Structure 1
Amino acid sequence: MNLCKDLSILVLLLIVSLSLPAQNSVKSNDSPLKLPKSYVIQHTQQALKIDGGLNEVDWQKVQWTSDFVDIEGAKKPSPALKTKVKMLWNDSTLFIAARLEEPQVWATLMNHDDIIYYDNDFEIFIDPHGNGHNYFEIEINAFNKIFDLFIPKPYRNGGDALISWNVANLKSAIKVDGTINNPADVDKGWTIEMAIPLKSLYLGHPFKAPKEGSLWRINFSRVQWDTKISHGKNMKLKDASGKDLPEHNWVWSPQGLINMHYPEHWGYLQFSKNENTVFNLPYVERQKQHLWLIYKNQKKHHGKFGKYATNLKELGMNGQQNIEGKENLLQMQATDHQFTATIAVKGGKVIHLNEEGLLYFKK
């Protein structure tokens, strides 16, 4: 055995491997290739009383989600308090229930469309079409006050919230296991129950009730402020300059960064009318992940050079991708200020993603 020769070969291989560009992969915690969480939502024909009790048989049968985690994911400690969600649907309504562990239930905001996240709150983000645009946000506090918004496109892409939009015919209820705004005792928490009319989530689109296997993108967030008891009230902790300490953001499916407005990181909601349905990720969702990787790399390139890359090679990416045994062609057209990336299996639908984070299909 020639030890010197073997060491020389190992060093050469290491140098070559370090010099090769990464092919369509990223290692950051917010990687588009990292699958988000999923939930199979069961159909109900039972009349549900929206009172925060969750006493109906169908509520008892369906599973809770896993406990919420920090918005940035595993790189941050687990939340100090537990939060979980369960869901049901019928042909007209999406039902959402959430249970929040909380030793001091408090709230201050009393009006519709107040900025509810200035209180401890629970937030829902829904993208019925899964295209990264035209999504909805609903926030609620322990007083059962609602802040509802329609967002045409994410803030990162120049979007702005339409606060005047309201969830038509929304029903919601809060049940506090303890006493609200009473620091003298220790509470167990609060439960949210909400009935969201499906038609209210189809602004500008003809309403189509979900069918077996329909897939939405959805996520949930809990904003939690650090407080202390002062003069008989729960008061937010402040820093040396007198500003409120940053809030905690606990979520169902981790975003990988402190920003809920990255819809491509939200979880999957699969509709079913059959019990014991197992979540099945459609093939197109695997394809979309590779488009989101181009998007992410293009935004990094633009941030560094002030313009978009004109081809995949500049991004260190390969145009040929084997996804679950099928050959896919990745392509991109770009100028300094715009780009469109596409992916398709031969003979299949072409999926497009542009610089504004909009997904769409063309044959």
Structure 2
Amino acid sequence: NTVWDLFLAQPYRDSGCKVLDSWDIQGIKTAVHIIGTLNDPTDKDDGWSVEIAYPWKVLEECAYECPPQSGDQWRVNFSRVEWDTEITDGNYEKIKGNPEHNWVWSPQGLINMHYPEMWGFVQFSDKQAGSVKDQFIFNEKENIKWKLRRLYYKQRTYFMQNGEFADDLEALEWTDLIIDDYDPLQIYTTPTTFEAILKSKDGKTTISIFDNGLISVQKSEEVEK
């Protein structure tokens, strides 16, 4: 039940990522429950569980609306690393040279937890847990966001190869990007940054992605992240 508070404002892959090992989650509660014994290879265990309770107060600095409202959705994932072991002189020992096994709550599609756009969705509800099954409502804007993230991946590859970001889709060899009800994509670049912008034809919604992978959805006076 040892807690390590690590705070990343953005993924390791993006420039400017700061690793805050000194982040201290005030009021966090954790517990570990073992159904069996610990580090005893002579018997058979049934399982274990971990519980973590985060105060909303410590999450609000990075959450758009905290605590979330009923129906709000967040991206979340959980990871557990498992190593191959063998028994030597009555003790478990990690087998050297074998790679780790990565267990996750929702499939990532790649061995890298630091892709938050690959995490699963959690939809919040104001109903008591177990009393009623709420219906998950998929936000159609996620399809648009995914296309913008594909653009972000292509831009990163282009920058690594050319030392600059592309200012049009032709340079990225992606000329068939068409999104219904939105005007053609606009790309703005500087020597080290880019911003790609989609504007709805009715002028009510603007969706942008930046060189650090952040997506912003602006609608009227509201901003979604």
Aligned with 2:171: secondary structure?
Answer: helix
Aligned with 1:249: secondary structure?
Answer: strand
Q: Distance in 2 between matches of 1:209 and 1:218?
A: 15
Per the alignment, residue 122 of structure 2 pairs with 269
Per the alignment, residue 193 of structure 2 pairs with 338
Amino acid at match of 2:9: P
Shift of 1:179: 0.2
Unaligned stretches of 5+ residues in structure 2: 220-225
Query: Given that residues 319 and 331 in structure 1 are in contact (C-alpha distance below 8 angstroms), is that contact kept between their aligned partners in structure 2?
Result: no
Per the alignment, residue 282 of structure 1 pairs with 139
Taking a change above 3 Å as real, the CA distance of residues 176 and 289 of structure 1, as seen in their structure-2 partners, is: same
Amino acid at match of 2:100: E
Matched, 1:237 2:95: yes
Q: Distance in 1 between matches of 2:107 and 2:62?
A: 30
Matched, 1:351 2:207: yes
Q: Which moved more, 1:213-222 or 1:192-201?
A: 192-201
- After TM superposition, the structure 1 = structure 2 runs for residues 96-111 of structure 1, keeping only pairs within 5 Å, are none
Matched, 1:224 2:77: no
Per the alignment, residue 249 of structure 1 pairs with 102
Q: Distance in 1 between matches of 2:26 and 2:215?
A: 27
Shift of 1:336: 4.4
Per the alignment, residue 174 of structure 1 pairs with 32
Work out which structure has the larger RCO, using CA pairs closer than 8 Å and 6 or more positions apart in sequence: 1
Query: Given that residues 70 and 126 in structure 2 are in contact (C-alpha distance below 8 angstroms), is that contact kept between their aligned partners in structure 1?
Result: yes
In proportion to residue count, which structure has more helix? 1
Query: Given that residues 215 and 269 in structure 1 are in contact (C-alpha distance below 8 angstroms), is that contact kept between their aligned partners in structure 2?
Result: yes
Amino acid at match of 2:12: Y
Shift of 1:247: 1.1
Q: Distance in 1 between matches of 2:141 and 2:90?
A: 55
Per the alignment, residue 77 of structure 1 pairs with none
Taking a change above 3 Å as real, the CA distance of residues 207 and 298 of structure 1, as seen in their structure-2 partners, is: closer
**TM-score when normalising by structure 1:** 0.55
Q: Which moved more, 1:283-292 or 1:210-219?
A: 283-292
Query: Given that residues 60 and 67 in structure 2 are in contact (C-alpha distance below 8 angstroms), is that contact kept between their aligned partners in structure 1?
Result: no
Amino acid at match of 1:354: F
- After TM superposition, the structure 1 = structure 2 runs for residues 51-200 of structure 1, keeping only pairs within 5 Å, are 144-158=1-15, 159-200=17-58
Q: Distance in 2 between matches of 1:315 and 1:272?
A: 41
**TM-score when normalising by structure 2:** 0.85
Number of positions where the alignment pairs a residue of Structure 1 with one of Structure 2: 212
Per the alignment, residue 213 of structure 1 pairs with 71
Query: Given that residues 78 and 104 in structure 2 are in contact (C-alpha distance below 8 angstroms), is that contact kept between their aligned partners in structure 1?
Result: yes
The CA deviation string for residues 38-73 of structure 1, in whole angstroms up to 9 with x for no partner, is xxxxxxxxxxxxxxxxxxxxxxxxxxxxxxxxxxxx
Shift of 1:232: 2.2
Query: Given that residues 73 and 123 in structure 2 are in contact (C-alpha distance below 8 angstroms), is that contact kept between their aligned partners in structure 1?
Result: yes
Amino acid at match of 1:249: N
Per the alignment, residue 169 of structure 2 pairs with 312
Q: Distance in 2 between matches of 1:276 and 1:308?
A: 46
Query: Given that residues 34 and 48 in structure 2 are in contact (C-alpha distance below 8 angstroms), is that contact kept between their aligned partners in structure 1?
Result: yes
Shift of 1:284: 2.4
The CA deviation string for residues 79-101 of structure 1, in whole angstroms up to 9 with x for no partner, is xxxxxxxxxxxxxxxxxxxxxxx
Identity of matched residues, %? 41
Shift of 1:312: 1.1
Query: Given that residues 291 and 343 in structure 1 are in contact (C-alpha distance below 8 angstroms), is that contact kept between their aligned partners in structure 2?
Result: no
Q: Which moved more, 1:170-179 or 1:200-209?
A: 200-209
Taking a change above 3 Å as real, the CA distance of residues 202 and 309 of structure 1, as seen in their structure-2 partners, is: same
The CA deviation string for residues 230-287 of structure 1, in whole angstroms up to 9 with x for no partner, is 1222111113xxxxx3211111222222211111111111111242211112232222
Query: Given that residues 144 and 179 in structure 2 are in contact (C-alpha distance below 8 angstroms), is that contact kept between their aligned partners in structure 1?
Result: no
Q: CA RMSD in A?
A: 2.0
Structure label with greater radius of gyration: 1
Q: Distance in 2 between matches of 1:328 and 1:188?
A: 56
Aligned with 1:300: secondary structure?
Answer: helix
